[in-house]
Structure 1
């Protein structure tokens, strides 16, 4: 018996995967251990168990941003000889980059997620290619089709704001970290953050308190022309009870004037093996099955999760169930992970605070970027000594 630890699944996908796996490997039984709903609570329960050397979990489902942290803490088995280059080449590049730390591969990407731009296709014919175009279109068209605002996004002080801000910084040619070198203190990054501050002016007054669902609700009520959100919102804004059903298009994140391409921020989940597991070989068979084309197809059809294997975006059954996924492929191919660092949680705290202060006008974009650069350098210097 192996134990698979994962967040609560409200769809039948996990159950179907386990059944299919046990049929294929009748001598291995899988026990599913459900974690709390909030990702912060999930993270804390892993840290408590793994720092005590707990061997009761074999396979861990991890948020994309935890993998380097767990690898650096020595809680994961390296998978270089199992998740081979030949296998990795079948996957989207962003998710593979996110499981690679310090020259080794520590997990296999199970499903992916990336920021997308939603727009009202009954108002806008062609979606904007640049942020300047978006702001212009929003100003010219607000009021049409019952709209009150140009855009909604995630402006609350939490991880979602970091994702939104990093998309604007990245799509304007900026970056945060390259290896262990802090690279955020550039004019491109400042100008990228300034775009986000400018979006506040065409957004609802409460946008600096919004998370994903707040943004979706305003957009779904027909009050905004554009929305930055994740793919999950698509089936909801097109639900039978949605006032904007049939009026919504999706497009890649626009680019800034100093950028070459819009860079959506990558989300998603990975599967890894607990270093203390007593059944590493069986655990690998389970991961290999769940992340294979066959396994990811089950997750795509039953759980609505976007695959990390490129070929499934051309799969007839998958596209019959989710025709709009063909459009998402172009978004995911340019998606970039957040800084791949074991100290990401501390870095995110600094970014959340400073990005939010810039949005609410307490500090300028320049000050926010300088504060973050200083904090990140301190974090790398101090944490590296521990």
Structure 2
């Protein structure tokens, strides 16, 4: 009988392509592999917590640098399983994101940082500031700027807007929000202004819905992750797509960023095979495969390979340059076991604000109060 391992991974258009390579790996290694896909990251987080609390036998999981601290007790430290030569292929920033209190608990799948996307037939000049972007969005024929109006995506816009006003949203340990700040009010006002040019359904949209709207040609501007690029290349706006760095805020540029990772389960009884699958999913070939779909690889050798095979003087070539530039403005959330709960509180209050259910003052107050309770595990 063949040995058998199980993997629990995040699903969706940005991620599913890579999993097609697992079957060939399984045939080569002579192993049966069951791949369970979660619908999105909140679903994945819930499934991980439930599965390991119940003793379910997963050998490998996909996770994220901001969520892994909550899963640390179930993850296998990797420093003694991987050589320095293997690790040297990865971007040092990506490896640092995969560490928790100095210990490596995952291998980076990518570096995730966003760019401004716009239609070149509607936007003649890239807005240099967020205020200019608001004015440009309001002048558009249908939808101006589209963005996620719930969950992690909405949180991310507020987080990076605060950053562009010179304020890191979190403080203290455990990190809780400090939204009652001039930067917090400015960020809320920008979000409210942008929502005026967005669809009424915005407060029910997450990342994929935003990508679908922009790819269909219904909006003039958005921001998006590298992994969505393959959808735009096949869309009605493929010849009308422009890319740029984020607008500046009152103080700086700041771009919500992070890193997806693959990790081993501490409880795996098939560790050598699980480790082989981990190496496969983070190999040069795997990251080059995803880079061809648009993802910014965490491996330097994969990044160099995709840049060499990209024709010069094209949008694709410009995009690789812009993504590397955008990393200079990356704005990373804190690492903390209760981070996801705090993020959810901030997002829920922002959603209520955009729906007109509470004032800016009440929104900032509640984010601070409820966010601190979530950070401390109260309630």
- Shorter chain as denominator, the TM-score bin is 0.7 to 0.9
- After TM superposition, the score normalised by the length of structure 2 is 0.82
How far apart in 2 are the matches of 1:365 and 1:151?
21
Which residue of 2 is the match for residue 160 of structure 1? 153
1:150 aligns with 2:155: no
Structure 1: tracts of 5 or more residues without a match: none
Which residue of 2 is the match for residue 119 of structure 1? 118
**Residues 343 and 365 from structure 1, CA distance in 2 versus in 1: closer, same or farther, beyond 3 angstroms?**
same
CA deviations on 1:271-320 (whole Å, 9 max, x unpaired) are: 1111111233443333234313233223434x654311234333247743
CA deviations on 1:47-79 (whole Å, 9 max, x unpaired) are: 22211334x3221122444311101xx111122
Name which of 226, 231, 238 aligns with 1:236: 231
CA deviations on 1:217-255 (whole Å, 9 max, x unpaired) are: 44344443211233344333342x51x331111122223
How far apart in 2 are the matches of 1:361 and 1:248?
33
How far apart are 1:342 and its partner, in Å?
A: 1.1
Maintained 8 Å contact 1:176/1:339: no
How far apart in 2 are the matches of 1:288 and 1:149?
43
Counterparts in 2 of 1:29-178, with a 5 A limit?
A: 29=31, 31-54=33-56, 56-71=57-72, 74-82=73-81, 90-92=89-91, 95-139=94-138, 142-143=139-140, 147-155=141-149, 157-178=150-171
Structure 2: tracts of 5 or more residues without a match: none
- After TM superposition, the score normalised by the length of structure 1 is 0.81
Name which of 290, 293, 314 aligns with 2:284: 293
Partner SS state of residue 265, structure 1: strand
1:180 aligns with 2:179: no
How far apart in 2 are the matches of 1:335 and 1:200?
24
**Residues 84 and 343 from structure 1, CA distance in 2 versus in 1: closer, same or farther, beyond 3 angstroms?**
farther
RMSD: 3.2
Matched positions, count: 367
Which residue of 1 is the match for residue 302 of structure 2? 312
Which residue of 2 is the match for residue 263 of structure 1? 255
Maintained 8 Å contact 1:4/1:31: yes
